[in-house]
Amino acid sequence: QKEPSFAGLERVGGVDLSYVKGDDSRACASLVVLSYPGLEVLYEDCQMVAVSAPYVAGFLAFREVPFLVEAVQRVQQEEPRLKPQVLLVDGNGLLHHRGFGVACHLGVLTDLPCIGVAKNLLQVDGLARDELHREQIRSLQRGGDTFPLTGTSGNVLGMALRSCNSSKPLYISVGHRVCLETAVRLVQSCCRYRIPEPIRQVQKQGS
DNA sequence: GCGACAG
DNA sequence: ATCTTGTCGC
């Protein structure tokens, strides 16, 4: 995507698993598709699933991705013209211990462009929630302000993004077939509140 | 051994 | 992720 205005982009999706309270094994696997740039809900799907893999930091994909793939297959089967052109995924992409978080898994398995959107920093490759990091967060003055998440290896693993008016940033990383700059710009353009609207709507749908 | 730990 | 208590801002 080289066009600054995202010409041709009409549908942005969000995927999420929301867990039943008090039951670690049952969850609602949800997909929403929003119009772009209007951010109106075009499609919602929620399917109760039995989750078997435990949550282990660094292995989120093995717990969640099978059900997210099924949700993408359902929209393709039932409403193919509403299939999203890009997915915002609750979790990380390249910002991961092994450089391959849930947003990468889902992208490869569905062949859809995917963007990792995490609400908390995954502490990997020297990145830490330390005083330096908190100071970098304080330096983000306005919605859209960013700083790169550069690991000890020297690689830029993602970007911290101040969305809207919230002092707590989002952690954006490449999932699949989207560069980091485009990922940050698209997420920013989907934000009415701190959480970008496709993920906010899918979490509302799940609960 | 202890702390850290996306969702 | 969920739960719980309290605070701030619109």
Listed by start position, the domains of chain A span 11-206
Separation of alpha carbons A49 and A19, rounded Å: 10
Beta-bridged to residue A170, according to DSSP, are: A161
Measured to protein CB atoms, the chain C nucleotides within 7 Å are: 1-3
Distance A7 CA to B4 C1' (A): 43
Pairwise pLDDT comparison (A190 vs A141), residue with the higher score = A190
pLDDT (tens digit, 9 = 90+) per residue, A7-16? 999 999 999 9
User: What is the arithmetic mean of pLDDT over A126-133?
Assistant: 87
A197 phi and psi angles, rounded to 5 deg: -55, -40
Whose CA is closest to A14, among A72, A92, A93, A100? A72
pLDDT tens-digit profile of A90-113? 999 999 999 999 999 999 999 999
Q: Report if CB A153 to strand C is under 7 Å.
A: no
For residue A162, is pLDDT > 70?
yes
Query: Is strand B less than 7 A from the beta carbon of A25?
Result: no
Report CA-CA distances (Å) from A169 to A96, A132, A161.
18, 15, 5
Question: Residue A132 pLDDT more than 90?
Answer: no
Å: A118 CA to C6 C1': 26
Q: CB–CB of A154/A162 below 8 Å? A: no
Q: What is the per-residue pLDDT across A171-184, written as a single tens digit (0 to 9) for each? A: 999 999 999 999 99
In this complex, the answer to whether residue A22 has its CB under 7 A from any atom of chain C, a nucleic strand, is yes
List, for residues A55-82, the tens digit of each pLDDT value.
888 999 999 999 999 999 999 999 999 9
pLDDT on residue A164: 82
CA distance linking residue A62 with residue A41, whole number of Å: 28
On the 0-12 / 13-18 / 19+ scale of CB atoms within 10 A, A193 is exposed
Per-residue exposure over A72-81, b if at least 16 CB sit within 10 Å of its own CB, e if not? beebeeeeee
What Å value separates CA A28 and C1' C2?
14
Please check the confidence at residue A4 and state whether its pLDDT lies above 80: no
Residue A18 (CA) to nucleotide C4 (C1'), in angstroms, measures 19
- How far, in Å, are A56, A64, A87, A191 from residue A97 at the CA level? 12, 17, 22, 27
Contact, A120 CB vs strand C, < 7 Å? no
- The pLDDT of residue A2 is 64
**A39 pLDDT exceeds 90?**
yes
Mean pLDDT of chain A: 92
**What integer pLDDT is reported at residue A3 of this predicted model?**
67
Average pLDDT over residues A187-199: 93
CATH 3.40.50.2300 fits A11-206, yes or no: no
